[in-house]
Chains A and B, each alone.
Chain A
Amino acid sequence: MSSEQTRKLIALAAIWAALLFAPYWMAPLGGYTALATRVLVLGLAAMSVNFLLGFTGVLSFGHAAYFGLGAYGAGLTLKFLAPSTPLALLAGMLLGGLCGAILGTLIVRRRGVYFAMVTIAFGQVFYYIAFQWSSLTGGDDGLRGFSRQPIDFGLFKLDILSNANNFYYFVLFCFALVVGAMGFILRSPFGRTMIAIRENERRSRFLGIPVERHIWIAFTLSCFFMGFAGALYALVNNFADPRGLHYSQSGDFVMMAVMGGMRSFWGPLLGAAVFVVLQDYLSSITVNWMSFVGLLFVLVVLFFPRGLLGFIQRSKA
């Protein structure tokens, strides 16, 4: 095994160990378990955005739509269909993913700025639907009146509502499943065609890759991941917010991905952690917390163009 592979394995083990013991090391540092849960969920969303941005090379500025659809899908399922957490997650993921699959067919022909603009436009459509359709979605107040349900394993029930640690580990389990799927895909022949498209679209086309179809598949997959993250987010808050569909939320996800490092698989998780922790800390001091996050973002982009994780990796190498 080469030294680079060894280093990668060690880094991977460190990341998982940090996540696995987060409820124990966060408290002494002034954090709390629910904060770690939020980092995981928003990190998963940022990683889903980056699946497209960092590994296929197309920038979606409307991915919050699929995140929000996932949240509403989960919330509506819990509220009206069945009190089942797994079913809610499945429904949220399907709603986000299927809407992404359908709209993706219209979006993937565009490139660059046009791609970003079209994704914003479609995203805003969902935002206004959620905002206006008060009877179903609760409108501006958001969707309330549901809560995550205990997971029924037959022999025993896992309480994820009142026990913060149980819920954290449940979310970590879900996170691991989706992140595992992402990593698996990126290491496959299909994943390598995504990277090929990112690197050089013309060359990809002249290697026999139908570029639009492959971007569509990557877009759809990322929307499924995004819907799943959104469904988890509804469970975190026991609430679905129309602002979760808004393009400014999409911007936050892109910011997390770029700040953490969009060329690295784990970068967006680090970006999300920095974003969420800063938000939590600064918003208790000032309502203008976003100015400080924005300032940090600008500094990172100026001085660490490969993001925080890219910088850490480079200084180690």
Chain B
Amino acid sequence: MNVLDINNVTKRFGNLVAVRDVSLGVAKGELCAIIGPNGAGKTTFFNLISGFFPPTAGSIAFDGTDITKLSTHERVTRGMARTFQITEIFPELTVFENVRIAAEVAGGYRLRPWINRSEAAQINQRVEETLKLVSLEARADRLVGELAHGDQRAAEIAMALALKPHLLLLDEPTAGMGDQETYQITQLIRRLHRDSNYTIVLIEHDMRVVFHLADRICVLDQGRMLAQGTPQEIAANETVQAAYLGNAA
């Protein structure tokens, strides 16, 4: 069964059709990359999946249930986590505190006015494990706002992971990064995919990253799904080359 099933979704903003009749199925454990030129509707498509706004037409199913009408936080509660193109974190809190909030919400403690010692110990352990996964354990007590850009992105990914998601949505995880940071984040995503078996959908501009990581690539252009297939198929696809790769190369 697919983790995510998107059926013919369309999103209009007035006269502009940002996403036009797009369908996509993502299997468990798959890493699917969405590429396309600027303005192709990639982020709008992500916003539809994560419930930032509802689609004008079409439906979205997650783990076999229709979630088209669910709000963002309900989707998160069902196991969907995302990061943003521009890092969204709690800048004045420490790395540890950032991830702890995610872990407590995921543990169902968000409305609790108290937390007992064994529960707190469990949460702390979960936070430390997650920080280890993204190699931030040495910076746990630093304020996130003071970290380097790459580490902030890693912290945002850690917050998403602390939710124990069935589906991880990453919006341009390497945006604004130098080569070294890009390499580190790419290795991290690769580990999450290969070793921890996360199901991941990501938007990415850096073709090296995309071809290095993806099981499958979807190409959006002017709101439409131009093509999808394995990296080899996409690299060989003439329509894609004409519309996108041709200009870039």
Contact = CB atoms under 8 A, between A and B. Distances in A.
Interface of A: 184-185, 188-193, 195-196, 199-200, 202-203, 205-211, 214, 217
Contact of B104 (A184, A185, A192): A192
Contact of B113 (A185, A200, A202, A208): A185
Given A192-B97, A210-B73, A203 B90 contact: yes
Nearest to B97: A192
B216 interface: no
A203 B101 CA distance: 11
A271 to B, nearest CB: 21
Contact of B102 (A200, A202, A205, A207): A207
Given A184-B113, A200-B90, A206-B81, 19 more contacts: A189-B105, A189-B111, A189-B112, A189-B115, A190-B111, A190-B112, A192-B100, A193-B104, A199-B91, A200-B88, A205-B72, A205-B73, A206-B72, A206-B76, A208-B106, A209-B73, A210-B71, A211-B73, A214-B110
B100 A206 contact: no
A108 to B, nearest CB: 14
A309 B112 CA distance: 30
A200 B109 CA distance: 19
A188 B100 contact: no
Contact of A208 (B77, B88, B100): B77
Contacts of A211: 73
A206 B74 CA distance: 9
Nearest to A188: B113
Interface of B: 50, 71-73, 76-77, 81-82, 84, 88-93, 97, 100-102, 104-106, 109-115, 159, 163
Given A206-B81, A207-B76, A210-B73, A192 B89 contact: no
Contacts of A217: 111
Given A206-B81, A207-B102, A208-B73, A189 B109 contact: yes
A203 B100 contact: no
Contacts of A192: 97, 100-101, 104
A101 to B, nearest CB: 16
B124 to A, nearest CB: 13
Contacts of A210: 71, 73
B101 A193 contact: yes
Contact of A207 (B84, B111, B115, B163): B163
A276 to B, nearest CB: 30
Given A207-B76, A210-B73, A189 B90 contact: no
B76 A199 contact: no
A215 to B, nearest CB: 13
Contacts of A184: 113-114
